[in-house]
Amino acid sequence: MFDLDPWTLLTILALGVITVVTRGFFFMSSKPWTLPGWAQRGLQYAPIAALSAVVVPEIVMTQGALIQTWQDARLFAVVAGLGWFAWQRGVLGTIVAGMVVYLPLKIGLGW
């Protein structure tokens, strides 16, 4: 049914062992331990860093190149969203404000 050569089987087993060891590493120690303070502070910024890494390229780039014109609906939507967030500090309102600006420009004007 499946044709597994020894190297493929060894690779699968090795990756399985590595996965179990790295995920179970924290349970293997009998002593409780905590992260250093600098690591805990750094982890506080991980969600916003990950979100920025995904969202910012979608805003300023198109097909792998920087946007060459100001007539891009995404730029105006970002400004509207940032304005709403600075004013009200609400995430839902930020999304709605950005989409209220984005959709007419994208659908209506074809930007």
- For 1, the 3-state DSSP assignment is coil
Q: Is the pTM of this model over 0.85?
A: no
For residue 64 the two structure tokens come to 């792998």
Write out pLDDT tens, residues 66-77.
999 999 999 999
Phi, psi of 80, rounded to the nearest 5 degrees = -65, -45
Q: Tens of pLDDT along 11-38?
A: 999 999 999 998 888 787 778 878 899 9
pLDDT of residue 54: 94
Strands 65-66 and 61-62: antiparallel
Question: Considering the chain, what percentage of its residues have pLDDT values greater than 70?
Answer: 99
